Amino acid sequence: MTKELIFGHQNPDTDAIGTAIAFSYLQNKLGYDTEAVALGNPNDETQCALDKFGFKAPRVVKTVKNEVDSVMLVDHNEPQQSVADIDQVNVSWVVDHHRIMNFNTANPLYYRAEPVGCTSTVVWKMYKENGVEIPANIAGIMLSAIISDTLLLKSPTTTQDDKNAVEFLAKVAGVDYQEYGLSLLKAGTNIASKTEKELINLDAKSFELNGHIVRIAQINTVDLPEAMERKAAFMKEMQNASASDNYEMFMLVITNILDSNSEAIVVGTDECKLLFEKAFDKKLVDSSVALPGVVSRKKQVVPPLTQAFAN
């Protein structure tokens, strides 16, 4: 069996890194030869989860063709969110929980996506379907991924499958998921120690919306007003990034993980800003707007933007 690499998206989060580790373990048990790698270093929250369950951070790769002919993707499929030379290799497997966009292959492949809160919930099902026992540390890293992606089962992306997975995995990992979950999420909210440039890159993804390249970044916090004090500095860095990487719009979502409310800051072309206002039926005031109850980029931000940009 020829070696394949498994990785999540750029600017990896706990799902991207944790699920790569868990899926690689499963695939190796099933006879594949895989290594979990990452397209960047773990963020504070992910590092907390890796430390808790005794994992080293996966090796960071910038390209893959120099190592392998074939790869497996977790937690993403859109090429612009993947490794730089994704078009140079075969994709043999995808496990994901996102929309499918611009993902084209020459050959049939394994593709397993479900509209659940976290990719690890899908991988948990695959362990069950294949009768592979889940070690405690693998259960712990999958549990961490689900807590992260669902904001401890509070995001509207949360499904019954995610809840079942969390109950099951917490038992195998031997942790109280409420207690551990809150400590994990809080580990990701330490924004005071980071520059605005670091923060807008921490959890940022690019989307192609009807031909427009739009960047959407998200930051978690427990103190929204404190974060918004840095608005002018955020906007400056968002404008710099847009100029250098040709984003027509850059949206920063700052989410309070305790009460599930967000504030959005938007820079971009007038056309894009009008489409943003149409998408959310709200006016930007001084380039920002409150988005009460919005916590999910995937379910509450990308779909309305996709619709507004489509028309």
Residue closer to a copy of itself (CB basis): 116 or 175:
116
161 is in an annotated binding site: no
69 is in an annotated binding site: no
212 is in an annotated binding site: no
Residue closer to a copy of itself (CB basis): 153 or 191:
153
Question: Considering just the CA atoms, what is the radius of gyration of the chain in Å?
Answer: 19
Residue 114 as a binder of a copy of itself (CB under 8 A): the answer is: yes
Residue 168 as a binder of a copy of itself (CB under 8 A): the answer is: no
169 CB neighbour count, 10 Å cutoff = 28
97 is in an annotated binding site: yes
Residue linked to tokens 């020829």? 2
Within 70-109, the residues that bind a copy of itself by CB under 8 A are: 97-109
Residue 65 as a binder of a copy of itself (CB under 8 A): the answer is: no
Residue closer to a copy of itself (CB basis): 52 or 298:
298
Q: Judge whether 206 and 215 are in contact, CB under 8 Å.
A: yes
Residue 213 as a binder of a copy of itself (CB under 8 A): the answer is: no
What is the Cα–Cα distance from 204 to 52, expressed in whole angstroms? Answer: 25
First-residue to last-residue Cα distance in the chain: 47
> HSE-up of 140 (CA within 13 Å, CB side)?
18
259 is in an annotated binding site: no
Q: What residue spans of 151-262 are helical by DSSP H?
A: 160-173, 177-187, 196-202, 224-228, 231-245
Q: x/- site string to a copy of itself, residues 129 to 158, per CB under 8 A? A: x-----------------------------
152: alpha, beta or left? (left if phi > 0; alpha if psi -120 to 50): left
Q: What strands, in cross-sheet order, belong to the sheet with 204-209? A: 204-209, 212-221, 249-256, 261-268, 288-291
Residue closer to a copy of itself (CB basis): 9 or 298:
298
Q: x/- site string to a copy of itself, residues 250 to 289, per CB under 8 A? A: ----------------------------------------
Residue 311 as a binder of a copy of itself (CB under 8 A): the answer is: no
Please provide the DSSP assignment of 89-104 as one string: SEEEEEEE-S---S--
Contact with a copy of itself (CB under 8 A) among 47, 261, 288, 307 = 307
DSSP secondary structure letter of residue 298: I
Summarize as ranges the residues that interact with a copy of itself (CB under 8 A).
97-115, 129, 298-299, 302-303, 306-307, 310
Please state the residue numbers annotated as binding site. 9, 13, 15, 75, 97, 149
